[in-house]
Amino acid sequence: MVEESKTGWLTLIIVTLSVFIIVIDKTFLNVAISALIRDLHTNIETIQYIIAIYSLIMASLMIIGGKIQNIMGRKKTFLIGASIYGVGTIIAAASINSAMLLLGWSILEGIGAALMMPATTSIISGSYSGERRAFSLGIISSMASGAGSIGPILGGFLTTYYTWRYAFALELVVVIIILLSSRVISPFPAIAKWSDFNISGAVYSASGIFLLVLGILLLNDPRNWNLVPYIIIAGLILLVIFYLNQKSRIKEGKSPILDITLFNDLSFTLGNITRLIMNFTIGGVLFVIPVFILIVLGADPLTTGLSLIPLSLGIFILSFTAGKVSTRLSARYILALGFLASMAGSIYLTLIFNQYTTILDMMPGILLLGVGMGIVFPHSANIVFSVARSDQQPDASGVLNTGINFGSALGTAVLGVILILGGFGSLSIGTGGYQSSSSHLELKDIPGKLGFGGSHALNVFNSGSGVVDSKKISSMKDSFNVVTIVLLIGLISSLLIPKRRRKPEPDSGGVITHI
């Protein structure tokens, strides 16, 4: 365990900056699709696949990124990832065609993010302990949520008034700040050699996760539904082979790409499940609500982004309490409260959708969803790291971040299918491939757009058929019914987390013994 007095909160600040730009990167391009088509002389299908490939690369390389930390050290892996990410932002910002955007954003930034993300959480888990670690993980969660909401606002603003290229330029500035300030991060020496790297395991895991996530993303385009079962089955088969390969290597005393013995701990397994479920929720919510606001209410990208502020506020405020609460209550009860809060928000939204729903009407439910997420995110992560020894933390980080990306993709895809069947049309693979025809937004119009000031411009559906309107209302209700059911599964999972567990081994870094 690193002495916390040597790093203070500077390590947290640097790591938080990296999380911020990675999450923004996943959201701001969705509202700039039409501008990208125009500026890069391409078509919507190409842009949508570029966005999907970014998610695929990041998700499939997370476990490998977690393992590489053992070989190169957490800090070095983090900085190499940041450097690759920075090069990607330069190429993306300067893109003159779709191939450059694919290389810079999807490939290089995807690889950089896959190296950085596991390192961020393992650096935090190795730099702080107990209440301070819970607080730090809470800050990361709140920043990630804030970035998820700010991304569409930033993308909509820059695309409307300037150019989407400035978003990549701003990311580059943040990367430079991270690199210049990185000396405060403790070194975390390597604990393995390249000769220990399990190449076959890396291929099985990356290929399996890639195909599994690809199959899920393809659900959002009905033209691909006949291929989806085969792709998902192939991915699952590869992951089974990966598991057997890792089990065999551990039995033979060889170094695995992932220490699967972590799953022998029920708290670790359930902690990851609860986090995956809540990321299913946020991935689905950040997809469904913008689709409703953009397509049904006819709002523009900036207004849509502003409507998600209550979600970020709920997560941000509750995440700040994580450190204090974690020392006073059993984690399973804390997580249960979080799932109950989000369920209340989901049920509320199910009940209020009708032909006269405004953005203002939706805000209490969006806020409650954020409150629940703000409770679950940091505490589920704290459980995952509290059961891992110091040498297992990079692996724990890889599993956690893979689950985060998988859960988000699954939530987007499943709720996307419900919207497609409900009359919203093809929404395309994992992009939120919707566009607004709204005109230029003035700041003075925002109160009316959100439902204040007596404006009823958003109170009615913009489609002409009452039958279609009814189907869209029903699909929104169905979407949040699914969210409620999934959250109920999360609630049950949280209550199954052992109240007490054995004390960790000495090299676990002073983790919590009562969860």
Q: Hey, what amino acid is at 20?
A: F
Residue scoring higher pLDDT (504 or 231): 231
Structure tokens of 309? Answer: 């502020």
Residue 247 has pLDDT above 70, yes or no: yes
Structure tokens of 44? Answer: 């919507």
Distance CA 137, CA 428 (A): 33
Question: pLDDT-based confidence at 496, cuts 50/70/90?
Answer: very high
DSSP at 500: B
> CB-based contacts of 370: which residues, under 8 Å, 6+ apart?
145, 310, 311, 312, 313, 314, 315, 318, 345
Q: Hey, what amino acid is at 396?
A: A
Hey, what domains does the chain have and what are their CATH numbers? 4-182+198-508 (1.20.1250.20)
* pLDDT tens figures, 40-84: 988 766 776 787 788 788 888 888 988 888 888 888 999 999 999
Structure tokens of 407? Answer: 């859960």
Distance CA 304, CA 322 (A): 29
Residue 355: predicted pLDDT: 82
Residue 318: predicted pLDDT: 82
Distance CA 372, CA 374 (A): 5
Residue 508: predicted pLDDT: 37
* SS3 of residue 514 by DSSP: strand
Q: Residue 514 — φ and ψ, nearest 5°?
A: -125, 115
Instruction: Decide if 431 contacts 36 (C-beta within 8 A).
Output: no
Structure tokens of 238? Answer: 């590869």
Instruction: Give the mean pLDDT of the chain.
Output: 80
Residue 92 has pLDDT above 50, yes or no: yes
Instruction: Decide if 94 contacts 346 (C-beta within 8 A).
Output: no
Number of H helices, E strands in the chain: 20, 0
Distance CA 165, CA 167 (A): 5
Residue 430: predicted pLDDT: 46
| End-to-end CA, the chain | 20
Residue 23: predicted pLDDT: 82
Residue 301: predicted pLDDT: 64
> CB-based contacts of 424: which residues, under 8 Å, 6+ apart?
291, 295, 472, 475
Question: pLDDT-based confidence at 501, cuts 50/70/90?
Answer: very low
Residue 426: predicted pLDDT: 52
Apex 271 CA angle, 505 and 14, nearest 5: 80
* pLDDT tens figures, 131-175: 777 778 777 777 776 677 677 778 778 877 888 899 899 999 999
Residue written as token pair 């916390």: 4
Instruction: Decide if 432 contacts 153 (C-beta within 8 A).
Output: no
Residue 502 has pLDDT above 50, yes or no: no
pTM, two decimal places: 0.77
Residue 80: predicted pLDDT: 95
Pick the range with the lowest mean pLDDT from 216-220, 308-312, 511-515. 511-515
Residue scoring higher pLDDT (415 or 51): 415
Question: Which residues sit opposite 500 in a β-bridge?
Answer: 514
Residue 84: predicted pLDDT: 96
Residue 47: predicted pLDDT: 78
Residue 180: predicted pLDDT: 92
Question: pLDDT-based confidence at 447, cuts 50/70/90?
Answer: very low
* pLDDT tens figures, 346-382: 999 999 988 888 889 999 999 999 999 988 988 888 8
Apex 399 CA angle, 393 and 401, nearest 5: 100
Pick the range with the lowest mean pLDDT from 202-216, 288-302, 456-470. 456-470
Question: pLDDT-based confidence at 242, cuts 50/70/90?
Answer: very high
Instruction: Decide if 430 contacts 52 (C-beta within 8 A).
Output: yes
